């Protein structure tokens, strides 16, 4: 594997003016989400972040305004593990905004003990994928009205751990494995981007899946020794790469690819791709399969109980 990536959000946005753009970043109170939002606000965008509580949201916004005087940034409370929360949020957002230029689905959980969302979905699949699936679907009218617009979904190289468990995505009969569940959810993020692009790319809404790298953030707070051993074993047996875990990078580097996906003009013709280190990268074949992407869309609609029909291009 090559040396650690070094491109930062500052490098990506040098000379970029995002004045007049409205950008939504989920899960932006910590880590790469917070750095993504800060960088975009510093470039002039009007940024809305989501937080899991008023206290966290208010503190994050205050901190960003201290670092970026004059930043146009606000917060909304959102819990992706509750479809009621997702729907209440999207209703509020749609009522308050007449445009949405970029939606960055950054929020996520990793390697958590077994649990279920409010609707009974496995916690990682339900939070990382289904919550964002419903969120994006309900905000598509704003994205379409603002086209050209973009959807950026945070995936991970961890998607290599698992394809979609088509017969049991919510671990109702399979024995639960933290990294398999995480891998499934991250594969789902890529497939979501693939199908979004197929449906809405012709109408100017382009979608991308991002691998941020291995970043030192609170996402790894559930990294027990057994999880680290599992990760190391998976890396050692990987058919690609050096067989070692990638180097850890800072949040300014980890957020760079999200910011690049949200703004780079050269990506307009490359929607539906998987990105890493500010470049188009290679995902597992099952994560880029258009038939699987369409199948996951249908399954996701069934699970969330809402349909988002393909438009006429």
Rounded (5°) CA angle 91-126-211 = 95
Identify whether 182 is a catalytic site residue.
yes
pLDDT averaged over every residue in the chain: 92
Give the C-alpha separation, 54 to 58, whole Å: 6
- Using DSSP's 3-state secondary structure scheme, residue 141 falls into helix
Q: What is the pTM of this model?
A: 0.91
- Rounded to a whole number, what is the distance in angstroms from the first to the last CA of the chain? 41
Residue 81 in this model has a pLDDT that exceeds 90? yes
- Residue 211's nearest CA partner among 305, 276, 255 is 276
Helices (H), the chain: 9-13, 31-42, 54-67, 83-96, 123-124, 132-145, 178-200, 225-236, 251-254, 256-263, 290-304
> 9-302: which CATH architecture?
3-Layer(aba) Sandwich (3.40)
pLDDT above 90: residue 69? yes
* pLDDT for residue 217: 58
Per-residue pLDDT of 261-312, as tens digits, reads 999 999 999 999 999 999 999 999 999 999 999 999 999 999 999 999 878 7
Phi, psi of 76 (to 5 degrees): -135, 145
Q: How many percent of the chain have pLDDT more than 90? A: 84
Evaluate if residue 235 carries a pLDDT over 80.
Answer: no
Reported confidence tier of residue 234, pLDDT bands at 50, 70, 90: very low
> How confident is the model at residue 8, as a pLDDT?
95
Please determine, for residue 1, whether its predicted confidence score (pLDDT) is greater than 60.
no
The model's pLDDT over 245-271, given as tens digits with 9 standing for 90+, comes to 567 888 999 999 999 999 999 999 999
Catalytic option among 75, 176, 182, 208 = 182
> So what's the pLDDT on residue 16?
97
Confidence of residue 215 (pLDDT cuts 50, 70, 90): confident
Indicate the domain borders of the chain: 9-302
Chain segment 151-177, per-residue pLDDT in tens? 999 999 999 999 999 999 999 999 999
């Amino acid at each position: 594997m090559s040396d650690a990536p070094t491109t930062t959000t500052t490098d990506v946005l040098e000379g970029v003016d995002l004045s007049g753009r409205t950008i939504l970043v989920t899960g932006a109170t910590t880590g790469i989400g917070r750095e993504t939002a800060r960088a975009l606000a510093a470039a002039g965008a009007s940024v809305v972040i989501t937080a899991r509580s008023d206290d966290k949201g208010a503190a994050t916004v205050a901190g960003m305004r201290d670092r970026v005087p004059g930043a146009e940034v606000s917060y909304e409370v959102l819990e992706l593990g509750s479809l009621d929360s997702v729907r209440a949020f999207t209703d509020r957002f749609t009522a308050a905004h007449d445009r949405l230029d970029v939606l960055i689905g950054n929020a996520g959980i990793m390697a958590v003990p077994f649990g279920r969302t409010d609707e009974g979905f496995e916690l990682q699949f339900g939070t990382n994928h289904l919550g964002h699936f419903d969120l994006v679907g309900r905000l598509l009218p704003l994205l379409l009205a603002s086209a050209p617009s973009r959807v950026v979904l945070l995936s991970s190289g961890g998607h290599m751990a698992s394809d979609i468990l088509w017969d049991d995505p919510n671990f109702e009969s399979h024995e639960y494995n933290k990294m398999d569940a995480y891998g499934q959810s991250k594969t789902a993020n890529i497939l979501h981007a693939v199908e979004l692009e197929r449906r809405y790319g012709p109408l100017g809404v382009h979608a991308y899946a991002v691998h941020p790298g291995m970043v030192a953030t609170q996402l790894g707070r559930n990294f027990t020794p057994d999880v680290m051993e599992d990760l190391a074993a998976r890396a050692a047996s990987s058919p690609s790469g050096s067989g070692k875990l990638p180097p850890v990078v800072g949040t300014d580097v980890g957020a760079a690819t999200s910011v690049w996906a949200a703004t780079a003009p050269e990506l307009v013709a490359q929607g539906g791709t998987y990105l890493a280190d500010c470049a188009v990268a290679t995902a597992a074949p099952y994560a880029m399969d258009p038939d699987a992407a369409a199948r996951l869309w249908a399954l996701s609609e069934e699970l969330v109980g809402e349909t988002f029909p393909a438009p006429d291009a």
